Structure 1
Amino acid sequence: MNNRHVTFAASDELYTYPRTPPSTSSSSSSLPSSPGPLTPPTINKYAYGTRPLPILNAPLDAPAPGGVYTANQALALYTAAAIDLAIDPFVTKLPPSLNAATLALPATHPALPKLLVQCRHLPWELTIEPSSQKQPFVTVGDFLKKLYEQLCMPVTAQELERVPADKRRAIRDAHRRRCKEVRGAKDVERRVDFLMEHRRFAGLSPPDDSGVAWRLSAKRPT
Structure 2
Amino acid sequence: MARLFCNAVLALVFVLFCFRGGSGALEKPGGCRQSEIPLIRNLSEQGYDSYSLSFGLSHKTVAGAVHHGMKEIEVWIQTIAPHGRSPIHRHACEEVVIILKGYGTFYLSDGHDPDVPGKPKEIPIYPNSTFSVPVNSVHQVWNTHEAEDLQFMVAISRPPMELFVYRNWSTPHNEAILEEIKWNKLKSSSELKQCKEPELKDEL
Query: Given the two structures, how large is their TM-score scaled by the length of structure 2?
Result: 0.24
- Normalising by structure 1, report the TM-score: 0.22
Larger proportion of strand: 2
